[in-house]
Amino acid sequence: MTGPQGHQEPAAALAARILVVDDEPRALDALVQLLETEDYEVRRASDGFKALGIIREWEPDILLTDWRMPVMDGITLLKKARETTTEMVCLVMTAFGSVESAVEAMKAGADDYLTKPLNFDAVTLTLERAVEKMAMRRELERLRAARGTEANTRIIGNSPPIKEMVSLIDQVADSRATVLVTGESGTGKELVARRIHERSSRATKPFVRLHCAALAESLLESELFGHEKGAFTGATSRRKGRFEEADGGTLFLDEIGEIPQSVQVKLLRFLQQREFERVGGNNTLEVDVRIVAATNRDLEREVEEGRFREDLYFRLNVIHIEAPPLRAKMSDIPVLARHFVVRYARENDKEIREISPEAVAQLEQYDWPGNVRELENIIERAVVLADGDRVEARHLPAGLASEETAIADDLHIPGATLEELERYAILRTYEATGGSTSETADILGISVRKVQYRLRDYREEGITVS
């Protein structure tokens, strides 16, 4: 038996797995043959109990079941299947094509229904719609996984540390290597992970994030690997973990240094063998997932003190990317500040598009222990408080300058000489770059030799140079 002639094969058909359930052998054979000619991956079951076993083991994308069957009818099967997974598209076939039966099927959780005797054109079109619905559900899951994140994940800045980091990201993005992103809290480690994903061949696949420090040990294992129904109290249905959600894409494990030893062992096994089991399950699963992990801890010290497995550390640290603190890229403050002003003005429906030079100068005098996140919070507050068309220095928190930047207290603009301005710029930039004369020269646009000469002069004048 063949399908309709000249039918255009649905683009997603090859990716769809269909379970067909019917107690009539001839009808089941005919339908399976039709679907196989359409290049769907098909399995069959002659009753609802067999179908439930296949659903748990095989996880079809689409369930196509007859309504009237002995022992367990299609509606009961549909309800039980929904307890196992909510992602599967469910279609019901019935010889009773009344409005009442259609309503009952929809109330039970069916996505659509077909009337017997089946019209093959109608079957094919209904399945195409089901495949589209399946794709939409997967996309919604991906979007839910990424909820709370900015649509624009562009890394802002042109300082040498940022340019070096972005260059490394773009160099390694399309590899399969595991990446460890380190850096202080608030330095934008998730932005690094997202750029890695977006610049890779996995960009069209899911980017799934898990904050490892936010969950208890038992919940963390379930979130990562999923669980079977009845695996623990409250596990009323099977649930996929983040590894399965990220299949084909990238899994970002934030604060990886917080995971307990028991979970470290299972994560190590996945990195070594690319396989795992759900909590409470016996079936070994394999997924294609690229791991990007992040931490603000010193993992080498954690290893030395026995809190983090050394073998796991080496598996994670194939590629190491350091997210620089804001004090190491002070030249990026103006562009970051303007970026946040525009964003929060738009979110708060305010006609603000700029920040005053005086406000920027004040921001540049602060040491930023909270890094870019702290800057973002301060700019958001300033935008909310601003009563004009731009953010002014008076809208910033009082006492923004730290003790370490007290050198600026005696610097008055206007009133300071060019020599004083130059000294302030060199000393603050030299401090922010961690004592790098080359980076100081790059940021200020002067020669390394001039920086070295000026630092020597300042020392001879008794000025402390960090």
**What are the φ and ψ backbone dihedral angles of 43, each rounded to 5 degrees?**
-130, 160
**Residue-wise pLDDT tens digits, 278-307:** 888 888 888 999 999 999 989 999 999 999
In angstroms, rounded to a whole number, what is the distance separating the alpha carbons of residues 173 and 175?
Answer: 6
Residues 367 and 253 in one domain: no
Q: What is the mean pLDDT of residues 205-222?
A: 85
User: Can the peptide bond before residue 117 be classed as cis, meaning omega within 30 degrees of 0?
Assistant: yes
Residues 362 and 446 in one domain: no
Residues 276 and 316 in one domain: yes
Residues 312 and 438 in one domain: no
Residues 297 and 164 in one domain: yes
In angstroms, rounded to a whole number, what is the distance separating the alpha carbons of residues 382 and 394?
Answer: 9
Residues 55 and 125 in one domain: yes
Alpha carbon of 393 to those of 363, 386, 396, 410, 414: distances in Å? 9, 10, 5, 18, 16
**What are the φ and ψ backbone dihedral angles of 136, each rounded to 5 degrees?**
-65, -40
In angstroms, rounded to a whole number, what is the distance separating the alpha carbons of residues 397 and 26?
Answer: 77
User: How many domains does the chain divide into?
Assistant: 4
The pTM assigned to this predicted structure is 0.56
Residue 5, in any domain of the structure: no
The CA-CA-CA angle for residues 214, 247, 255, to 5°, reads: 25
Residues 207 and 106 in one domain: no
Residue 171 sits in a domain whose CATH number is: 3.40.50.300
Residues 169 and 306 in one domain: yes
Residue 187, in any domain of the structure: yes
Residues 297 and 180 in one domain: yes
**Residue-wise pLDDT tens digits, 231-280:** 777 667 778 889 999 999 999 999 999 899 989 999 999 998 888 888 88
Residues 266 and 388 in one domain: no
Residue 454 sits in a domain whose CATH number is: 1.10.10.60
Residues 169 and 73 in one domain: no
Residues 310 and 172 in one domain: yes
Residue 330, in any domain of the structure: no
In angstroms, rounded to a whole number, what is the distance separating the alpha carbons of residues 203 and 194?
Answer: 9
Residue 23 sits in a domain whose CATH number is: 3.40.50.2300
3-state secondary structure at position 250: strand
**What are the φ and ψ backbone dihedral angles of 67, each rounded to 5 degrees?**
-80, -55
Supply the pLDDT for residue 116.
84
In angstroms, rounded to a whole number, what is the distance separating the alpha carbons of residues 92 and 81?
Answer: 13
Burial 319-330 (b: 16+ CB within 10 A, else e): bebbbbbbbbbb
Supply the pLDDT for residue 11.
37
Which range of residues forms the domain containing residue 70? 13-145
Q: Which of 258, 257, 242 is nearest to 291 (CA)?
A: 242
Supply the pLDDT for residue 250.
95
